């Protein structure tokens, strides 16, 4: 594997989106020994409180806390982020450079929030396809085509629509939740103490709810555009831990009923 190659890349429109939505999975995969990349589509500016220089420092600090192998900001426009060829070229160039097996992005509309969120989903889908196209290297800074095997979505909690995904899974982030919290807390320009307290309450509540569905103290739910394929159903399912508060800590369902 070359120095640039990664196992998985996470992408989202603004610095802090990845940390808030996917920081647990990023930290967990790093802990498991995988090479993990973070790609912010924009620098997130202008905002009432930040500057490009400040957001860059905050993103760097957050990536260090999560342990990302590589991270970068694309030069796409905040507030005017739109799916289209230029945006697809930019993200696809990063994919062709890092050559991951898996790409993870946001999914869902947030009418009360930035429209960049849904546009980022469309860009992610388009860039994954563009990354593999041949005879077009001039559009991707001379990089060679690369096929990303798997597209994974991080659905936005409270999206405008209830989406029925062909496949879903929950990542156990119980042992890295404090890393996620610390990474989010790096964005002091965006969250004063009152806003940060409210956000961290929200993050813990969502993580607790999503984790409980699989018996984890904290989790992040991810979705797939297709059913997952398995050859060993028993290995995939493993031990079932009864979701709290009904189970006992550290005991599987089979132990609990004896």
Give the pLDDT confidence of 134-149 residue by residue, as tens digits.
999 999 999 999 999 9
Does 143 map to a domain?
yes
User: With bands split at pLDDT 50, 70 and 90, how would you rate the model's confidence at 242?
Assistant: low
CATH number at residue 184: 3.40.50.10320
Tell whether 238 and 169 lie within a shared domain.
no
Q: Please report the pLDDT score of residue 240 as a whole number.
A: 78
Same domain, 115 and 243: no
pLDDT of residue 2: 65
Place of tokens 């594997």: 1
141 and 20 part of one domain? yes
More confident residue, 209 or 215: 209
Which residues constitute the domain of residue 252? Answer: 232-258
Is residue 42 located within the same domain as residue 142?
yes
Q: Are residues 223 and 182 in the same domain?
A: yes
Specify the range with the lowest mean pLDDT, choosing from 21-25, 72-76, 112-116, 240-244: 240-244
Does 1 fall in a domain? Answer: no
In a domain, 2, yes or no: no
Q: Please choose, from the candidates 77, 214, 233, 207, the residue with its C-alpha nearest in 3D space to the C-alpha of residue 154.
A: 207
Identify the burial level of 122 via C-beta atoms within 10 angstroms of its C-beta, where 0-12 means exposed, 13-18 middle and 19 or more buried.
middle
Residues 124 and 244 reside in one and the same domain: no
- Asked whether the predicted pLDDT for residue 256 surpasses 90, the reply is no
- The pLDDT confidence band at residue 104, using thresholds 50, 70 and 90, is very high
CA distance 23 to 17: 9
Coil, helix or strand at residue 224: strand
In a domain? residue 254 = yes
Are both 139 and 244 inside the same structural domain?
no
114 and 164 together in one domain: yes
The pLDDT value recorded for residue 258 is 41
Residue 238, CA distances (Å) to 6, 171, 201, 235, 252 in order: 28, 14, 31, 5, 10
Count of Cβ atoms closer than 10 Å to residue 113 Cβ = 11
Q: Check pLDDT > 50 for residue 23.
A: yes
In-domain check, residue 188: yes
Instruction: Determine the pLDDT at residue 158.
Output: 83
3 belongs to a structural domain: no
Same domain, 132 and 254: no
Helix 52-66 with 177-184: angle, nearest 10 deg? 170
Position 118 in a domain: yes
Domains: count for the chain: 2
- Residue 251 domain-assigned? yes
250 and 166: one domain?
A: no
What is the chain's mean pLDDT, rounded? Answer: 93
Number of H helices, E strands in the chain: 8, 7
Q: Is pTM, for the whole model, over 0.85? A: yes
Q: Which comes out higher in pLDDT, residue 258 or 31?
A: 31
Report the percent of the chain where pLDDT is more than 90. 84
pLDDT of residue 43: 98
pLDDT for the residue 3:
77
Q: Tell whether 12 and 130 lie within a shared domain.
A: yes
257 and 185 within one domain: no
């Amino acid at each position: 594997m070359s120095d640039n190659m990664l196992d998985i890349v996470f992408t989202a429109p603004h610095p802090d989106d990845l940390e808030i939505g996917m920081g647990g999975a990023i930290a967990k995969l790093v802990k498991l020994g995988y090479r993990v990349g973070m790609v912010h589509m924009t620098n997130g500016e202008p905002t009432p409180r930040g500057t490009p220089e400040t957001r860059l420092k905050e993103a760097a600090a957050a990536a260090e806390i999560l342990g990302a192998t590589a991270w970068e900001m694309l030069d796409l426009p905040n507030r005017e982020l739109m799916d289209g060829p230029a945006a697809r070229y930019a993200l696809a160039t990063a994919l062709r450079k890092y050559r991951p097996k898996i790409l993870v992005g946001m999914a869902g509309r947030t009418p009360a929030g930035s429209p960049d969120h849904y546009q980022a989903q469309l860009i992610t889908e388009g860039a994954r396809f563009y990354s593999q196209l041949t005879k077009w290297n001039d559009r991707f800074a001379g990089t060679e085509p690369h096929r990303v095997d798997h597209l994974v979505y991080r659905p936005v909690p409270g999206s405008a629509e209830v989406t029925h995904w062909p496949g879903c899974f929950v990542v156990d982030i119980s042992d890295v939740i404090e890393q996620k919290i610390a990474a989010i807390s790096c964005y002091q320009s965006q969250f004063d103490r009152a806003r940060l307290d409210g956000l961290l309450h929200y993050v813990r509540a969502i993580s607790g709810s999503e984790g409980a569905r699989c018996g984890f103290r904290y989790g992040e739910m991810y979705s797939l555009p297709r059913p997952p394929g398995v050859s060993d159903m028993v290995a995939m399912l493993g031990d079932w831990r009864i979701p709290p508060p009904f189970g006992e800590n550290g005991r599987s369902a089979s132990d609990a009923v004896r």
